[in-house]
Amino acid sequence: MAKKVAHDPNEVLAVVDEKDNVVGSATRKEIHEKGLLHREVYVFLVNSAGQVLLQKRKDFPVWDSSAAGHFPKDQAYLEAAQREFEEELGIALSKSDFIEKWHLFFPDSKRVLAKINNRFVKVFVVKKDIPLPKIMFDKDEITEVKFFDKAELKMLVELPEMVIVPAVKKLIQEHFL
């Protein structure tokens, strides 16, 4: 089976209305060019010490949630969370490991990387002790993974320059600190 192309501009995604109901579909490229409402999923791995795993993205070298992504039109949020976690971190988990925490709307306040990203995001938390050596992250998408404790998260979100995805920064400030 061929590996999925990360950030494929021709991938068909769901277009949703202001209540997150699927109303159509479009390519990732078209969605971001036109600012169409769409769906994304974020997953945060939290260990028993309360540390949160973040990944540093390869395409845009800032810290991001443990796993995240857009997903095909015919996939549900939970399935997407499970798939993204396995694709990006190399660990297959059961659906019961994913705890749905928040369903949020993130309007695009400014263009980043020449795209408009108006999206609904379901955020899942996985509470599990997975040692860093067991995490076989996708080196095509990620350059580094690291567990952050609360003090490190606080320092990270207080840095003046952009070192963390803005939506993830907001989630950390509001829900993990």
For 94-144, what is each residue's pLDDT tens digit?
999 999 999 999 887 555 555 788 899 999 999 999 999 999 999 999 999
Q: Helix (H, G, I), strand (E, B), or coil: what is residue 166? A: helix
What is the token pair recorded at 81? 């969370």
CATH homologous superfamily for the domain 12-176: Nucleoside Triphosphate Pyrophosphohydrolase (3.90.79.10)
List the chain domain ranges.
Answer: 12-176
CA atoms within 13 A on the CB side of 149: 3
pLDDT digits (tens, 9 = 90+) for 52-63: 999 999 988 899
The pTM of this model reads: 0.91
